[in-house]
Amino acid sequence: MKKAMIFAAGTGSRLRPLTNQIPKALVPIAGVPLLERVICKLADAGFYDITINIHHLGQQIIDFLQAKQNFGLHIHISDERTQLLDTGGGIRHARHFLDGNEPFLVHNVDILTDANINVLWDNHIRNGAEATLLTEHRKTSRYLLFDPTMHLRGWFNQSTQEIRPAGLTNTYESWAFDGIHVFSPSLFRRMEDARWESSFSIIDFYLHVCADSFIQGCPIQATHWFDTGTPDTLAKAEIWYSNKK
């Protein structure tokens, strides 16, 4: 059974005051909560074992899933209500649900797209990567840097001109990360170091290990991609999905 994790623990600070009363995961788009849209997308792609992390107003997410009878899926709650652990720490905290011999897919709850996640999954399996990140060419302030074989080599902040690792001099291709990736449990051993014991970004982790671990990018064409974490993009997604009805 294919496994997935949904990041639903965010505070939704950029969507306040809307998220003062409901968690970001339950913000509706054309009448359907973000979390429901992502769960249904995963289920349609054959992911029936799903771990969801919670923090801000987490009981509302638990109540929602119970009301929906977990959509008929195997759903686990990774509880971060005592401490928000960021994306990397969230994966590490949920290890007991996700560890094993097979990879799992990770999906941000505020990302809506029709990108084919099974193409991403199959690419990961076929290439033997330890992590595979959905990427595209779009305008953003922060880019991941890949070599010609789409191996991750670094990171670049266009606004501040910061580059990581410091001193990186080769010319690499810049790709935007789309908030969906596949993670192989073999990487959990790299998280056992003391530096990864608490809250940390999964991108920081990937940048730390990419020199000697196969972290790859995978471009996939899609008709739409929305990061609904801001009022502007939330409104654009509302229009797109309302017109789609």
Using one digit for the tens of pLDDT, what is the confidence trace for 187-224? 999 999 888 989 999 999 999 999 999 999 999 988 89
Q: How many residues does the chain have?
A: 245
CA-to-CA distance for 177 and 99, rounded, in angstroms?
A: 24
Q: What is the 3-state secondary structure (H, E, C) of 125-185?
A: HHHCCCEEEEEECCCCCEEEEECCCCEEEEEEECCCCCEECCCCCCCCEEEEEEEEEEECH
Helix (H) or strand (E) holding 217: strand 215-219
**pTM for this model (two decimals):** 0.95
Contact between 94 and 188 (Cβ < 8 Å): no
pLDDT at 55: 97
Residue 4 phi/psi, 5° resolution?
-145, 160
User: pLDDT averaged over consecutive 10-residue blocks of the chain (245 residues)?
Assistant: 95 85 95 97 98 97 98 98 96 96 97 96 97 93 94 93 84 94 97 91 97 96 90 92 82
pLDDT at 159: 86
CA-to-CA distance for 32 and 154, rounded, in angstroms?
A: 37
Residue 172 phi/psi, 5° resolution?
-120, 165
Residue 118 phi/psi, 5° resolution?
-75, -25
